[in-house]
């Protein structure tokens, strides 16, 4: 198996960057489009547990657009072959001083493009790392 083929890493990075831009600007349509429309898609958030695309889309539609800005760091994208990847990043938000967030996504390439099939977001005290 080929790991981290440069062209595949570039594709996933572009999808990840598109997701990040949509997240901080509350572009719900783009966020929805980047998650796989499937009942098996899962998102564990800092305060929510979402099973299936419908629950994830409902969460996005109801989420407040206030204080979404953040700074990301230590992003690692790893690809396995040409159709599977993980993206992990740390983030900090001015609205959560003293905290550090962690985000992990599993991406799969479908005919319609790269889509998140599983995501986990958590927040912890910054002093703990």
Residue 1 lies in a domain: no
Among 17, 68, 45, CA closest to 123 = 45
- pLDDT tens track for 27-63: 999 999 999 999 999 999 989 999 999 999 999 999 8
- Expressed as residue numbers, the domain containing 96 is 6-128
Q: Give the integer Cα–Cα distance in Å for 59 and 106.
A: 19
Mean pLDDT of the chain: 96
Q: Using the predicted structure, report yes or no on whether residue 128 has a pLDDT greater than 70.
A: no
Contact 129, 40 (CB under 8 A): no
- Reduce the secondary structure of 68-89 to three states and give it as a string: CCCEEEEEEEEEECCCEEEEEE
Residue 74 lies in a domain: yes
Number of domains in the chain: 1
Q: Using the predicted structure, report yes or no on whether residue 129 has a pLDDT greater than 80.
A: no
């Amino acid at each position: 198996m080929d790991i981290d083929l440069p062209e595949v890493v570039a594709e996933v990075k572009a999808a990840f960057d598109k997701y990040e831009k949509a997240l901080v600007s509350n572009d719900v349509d783009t966020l929805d489009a980047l998650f796989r429309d499937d009942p098996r898609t899962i998102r564990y958030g800092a305060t929510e547990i979402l099973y299936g695309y419908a629950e994830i889309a409902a969460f996005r539609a109801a989420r407040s657009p206030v204080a979404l800005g953040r700074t990301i760091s230590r992003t690692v994208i790893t690809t396995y072959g040409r159709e599977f990847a993980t993206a992990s990043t740390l983030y900090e938000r001015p609205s959560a001083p003293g905290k550090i967030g962690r985000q992990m996504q599993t991406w799969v390439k479908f005919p319609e493009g790269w889509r998140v099939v599983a995501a986990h977001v958590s927040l912890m005290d910054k002093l703990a790392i």
